Amino acid sequence: MGTYQQFMSKYRAVSEEERRVLRPVVKALEQQMDELAKKIVDEAGKRYPAYNRLVEELKLHDSLTGREALAEIIVYIDPSKRFRKTANLVGLFKPVRGKKKIYDGRLRQALQRLTASANGVRPDQLTARLEKQTLFKVWMILRREARGRLAVPAQG
């Protein structure tokens, strides 16, 4: 991801002649990123039974980035914990003055990508409230799925 961002910032800064040289490199990087995202999405569909239901509920069928971000987030959500713990993990905490705020920045970026694609907004239009609502929806669906699996008696 870092290499792609470096090339994109260089691509925006250089002249049109140099852009023609960089364009194939950027396209190749985008193609590699898409292939990796497809692999992540396929693996998440196999490993997490609630993943496909989440994709349907959030209407992410068209957005590869959104499905990839969901796969990244779903790994860290523990349905047995309260929502406040999950929100704190991604950096959506209540403001406490003077308290050190420790959270996973990459997970927060994944939440922002998921929120942008699920709600159809541009990344500069995101708000923490919208991110929190999206995370809550994901958490609730995962929690319902976990409770549903526990309610089914053992077969055999």
Q: What is the mean pLDDT of the chain?
A: 85
Give how far Cα 114 sits from Cα of 126, 145, 148, Å.
Answer: 11, 20, 25
Place of tokens 């929190």: 132
Q: Is pTM beyond 0.75 here?
A: yes
Residue spans of the chain under pLDDT 50:
151-152
In this structure, are residues 134 and 87 in contact, taking their beta carbons and an 8 Å threshold?
no
Determine the pLDDT at residue 2. Answer: 61
| Interatomic CA distance for residues 140 and 100, integer angstroms | 28
| Interatomic CA distance for residues 20 and 9, integer angstroms | 15
